[in-house]
Structure 1
């Protein structure tokens, strides 16, 4: 569904991601992991259209979307739940969710609203509460729900568990599992390695903007040096040492 071919991106003259190639298939959860500053968020922002690609290509469902605006990519079926959640603090949960469905007809948005509230029942209880009054876990539920309001086929989540209590992490990952069962493709950036590896089918590791390793989650869990490499305690193995398994 998503194919990235030798993608380089950055800010101004700086290139922070270098010729990255990766794929995400329908119904698959793919984790993009690595140390802080590795280029993970820049990669997600480039896929979503908020950071311009310098070289390479982003294809979605066989269509070149490299130069499309973020709004056009949403209409194509790509939605981002950003790092830090980025809610409108002076808007209610209901209003924040409505914003996410701006690209869909009213009747579709109403259906998607019901879907989000079924996925996160806590949001129905907090429906008319302002975004700034929510707990971190509730805000993350709204951020994911806002992305789902666009009815995406690819959901991109940046730092799902960051700053959340364990109970809310479990709620968000249970929702992720349900979405996967429904056939949605998910690209996930996550610092909680145990959660990321348990939830994902395949893994890409970035180090200083370069692909350092790729393979299945099972391979990652079986590689004793990989976790140390991800945390920056040891150099990651070259990408060619463990072939990616689709």
Structure 2
């Protein structure tokens, strides 16, 4: 579905991502992990069209995305839930969701809102609340829901669990499990390594803008030296990864 070949990107003359090769298949969840400043967010922003590719190619379902601005990439089936959620604080939950569906026919709005509320029932209780009054967990639910309003084939999620209570992290992962079952592919940037590696099929590790390791998430979980040396997480401090069944219970 998504094929990235030798991609470099950055801001102005500064290159922050160097020669990345990455692939996401249909219905697959891929984790993109690494320390702060590794180039993870820049990768998602480049796929979404908000950061310019300086070299290499990004293809989605065989189409070169280089000529397409962000709004056209949404029409192709790519949606981004950004780091920090970035909701419209003076708009209600409903209004934030409606904004996310701007690329779809108006008659699809009610259907897609119903789908989001089915994934995140809590949002039905806060439907008319302003974005700035929501908790961090509720804001993340809205951010993911807003992206889903575009009916994506590929969902990009940047820092899903950042600043969230464990209960809300679990709610978000339960929603992603349902989306996986619907055939939606996910490229996930995540600081919670146990959750990311338990939930994903494969993982890519970035450090200082370069790919340093890739493989199955199962293999990544077994590489405690990788976790310690690249990500700075001591193996003794890492809880045992949750299983798929635990994530959906």
**Which TM-score band applies after superposition, normalised by the shorter structure?**
over 0.9
Q: 1:141, CA displacement in angstroms?
A: 0.1
1:129 aligns with 2:129: yes
Q: 1:23, CA displacement in angstroms?
A: 0.3
Distance in 2, matches of 1:67 and 1:15, equals 20
Deviations 1:118-156 (A, max 9, x none): 000000100000000000000000000000000000000
Distance in 1, matches of 2:203 and 2:84, equals 22
Match of 2:163 in 1: 163
Match of 1:54 in 2: 54
Distance in 2, matches of 1:135 and 1:124, equals 14
1:115 aligns with 2:115: yes
TM-score normalised to structure 1 length:
0.94
Deviations 1:208-238 (A, max 9, x none): 000000000010011121111332479xxxx
Residues 173-192 of structure 1 mapped to structure 2, 5 A cutoff: 173-192=173-192
Aligned length: 234
Match of 1:238 in 2: none
- Root-mean-square deviation over aligned CA pairs: 1.0
Distance in 2, matches of 1:116 and 1:184, equals 14
Match of 1:225 in 2: 225
Distance in 2, matches of 1:224 and 1:76, equals 38
Structure 2 CA distance for partners of 1:173 and 1:103, relative to 1, 3 Å: same
Distance in 2, matches of 1:67 and 1:13, equals 20
Deviations 1:64-88 (A, max 9, x none): 1123100000000000000000000
Structure 2: 5+ residue stretches without partners:
235-249
Structure 2 CA distance for partners of 1:37 and 1:52, relative to 1, 3 Å: same
- Do the aligned partners of 1:3 and 1:24 also contact (CA within 8 Å) in 2? yes
- SS of 1:213's partner is strand
- SS of 1:177's partner is helix
Deviations 1:192-215 (A, max 9, x none): 000000110000000000000000
Match of 1:38 in 2: 38
Distance in 2, matches of 1:90 and 1:58, equals 35
- SS of 1:137's partner is helix
Structure 2 CA distance for partners of 1:56 and 1:170, relative to 1, 3 Å: same
Q: 1:182, CA displacement in angstroms?
A: 1.0
Runs of 4+ aligned structure 1 residues displaced above 4 Å come to none
Distance in 1, matches of 2:222 and 2:107, equals 47
Structure 1: 5+ residue stretches without partners:
235-246
Match of 1:242 in 2: none
Match of 2:241 in 1: none
Residues 73-92 of structure 1 mapped to structure 2, 5 A cutoff: 73-92=73-92
- SS of 1:88's partner is coil
Q: 1:50, CA displacement in angstroms?
A: 0.2
- Do the aligned partners of 1:33 and 1:230 also contact (CA within 8 Å) in 2? no
Structure 2 CA distance for partners of 1:130 and 1:233, relative to 1, 3 Å: closer
